[in-house]
Every structure is written in structure tokens, then in C-alpha cells.
Amino acid sequence: MLESKDGKYLSKSSSHPLTCSSTYLSYQRQLNQSLRGENQILWEKNRTIRKDNKTFRMENKAIREQNCTLQDANNIDWEEGSVLKENKLDAMDEGKSLEEQEKALRKQNKALREEIKSLQEQDVAFKMEEKALQEELTALWEENKAFQEQIKALRENSAALLEEEKCLHQERRALQEEEAALQEENKALREERKALEEEDKALKEENEVLQQWKTLLQGSLSVQIEGQGALI
């Protein structure tokens, strides 16, 4: 029970501050649950990005190995073509074919380098996005920590309010007991006053009778004195 500004005692109702605190705590729990869900989604997304990055690295490594193999093959073909040009005149057509093959390989290597560059740029973009997600996750954790501190403060405040309510309830009970005692005392005093008023009324009536007797006796005494004077 709490005492309002007008002196009346209020029970715990929808207007009670503790009930409002409970509603706020429920809202904070729902908000924290939503944040946990969002954090889980971010973790899953980061895990997918890491997996994709790992796949890109493996593909890049395979492309580099393939490029090295092609480079070695080109060098071998170039050396063989040079030897054939020096030793055989009829190898010119084969050398031309090798040059065309080398040209095609160089073109293919250029395309592969461009693809590698694109993959590297994507990898950088993924890392930047992952960093941004990590910063966002850190901010969410900090916000969640602040909510936890706020909830802790609200719980402590609620405990203080409950203790204050308990003290006020005890005080009200003591005042009610004091009021009951005063009511009993007032009742006894009223009864005593009523008895005194009745006694006063009886005394006044007795006094009036005595006054009448006094007047009567004084009149009788005066008559007797006058009679005795006449006899003398």
C-alpha cells in the first residue's frame, strides 16, 4: 500500500510505478531477444563470408598454379620453337603455330589476371563488409550491456520502492492501531461526559428542590418570627 499526495492509500494497480517498471523490463527482455536474433544472423552471415573467402583463396591459388604451369609450357614451347627455327627451315610454320598458341595463352593469362584482380577486389570488399559487421556487432554488445546495467538499476530501484512500501504499510498499520485506541478512549470519554451530564442534571434538580425548600423554610421562619414578635 502506498500513500498518494491527497493522503489516500492506493493499492498496486496499473498506475503503480512498480507495474510500469515491470512493463519496461518486459519490453527490454523482448528487445534483448531481438538483438540476440540479429546477432545470430550476423554470425551466420560472417561465417558464410569467411567460407566464401576461403573458397576464393583456394580458387586463386589454383589459378596461380595453372598460370605457372602455362608459363612453363610457354617457355618450353618457345625454346623448342627457337631450336626448330635455328635447325629446320621447314619448322617456320610450326613456329608460327606456336606463336599463335602463345598469343592465345597470353590472352588467356590476361583474362585470368583480370579475374584474379576482380576476385581480390571482391575479397577486399568482403573483408570491409565483415569489419563493418564486426563493428556493428560490437556496438550491439555495448548497447546490450547498457541495457543490462539499466535493468539492474531498475531492479534495485524496485527493491527500494518495495522496502519503502513495506515501511509505509507498517506505519499505516501503527496509525490505524493508534486510531483504534483513540476511538476507544474517545468513546470512554463520551460515556464519562454523558454520566457527568446526567449527574449535573440530577444535582441541578436537587439544588432546585433545595432552593425551593430553603425559600419555603425561610418564609415559614419569617412568619414564626413575626408571630413571636406580635405575642411579645
Give CA–CA dist 24/155, Å, rounded: 11
Is residue 16 a contact partner of residue 2, using CB atoms and an 8 Å limit? yes
pTM: 0.34
pLDDT digits (tens, 9 = 90+) for 35-73: 778 778 887 878 887 787 788 778 778 887 887 887 777
Encode pLDDT of 157-196 as tens digits. 999 999 999 999 999 999 999 999 999 999 999 999 999 9
Rounded Cα distance between 133 and 122, Å, is 16
Architecture of the domain made up of 19-193: Orthogonal Bundle (1.10)
* Residue closest to 19 by CA, chosen among 162, 167, 170: 162
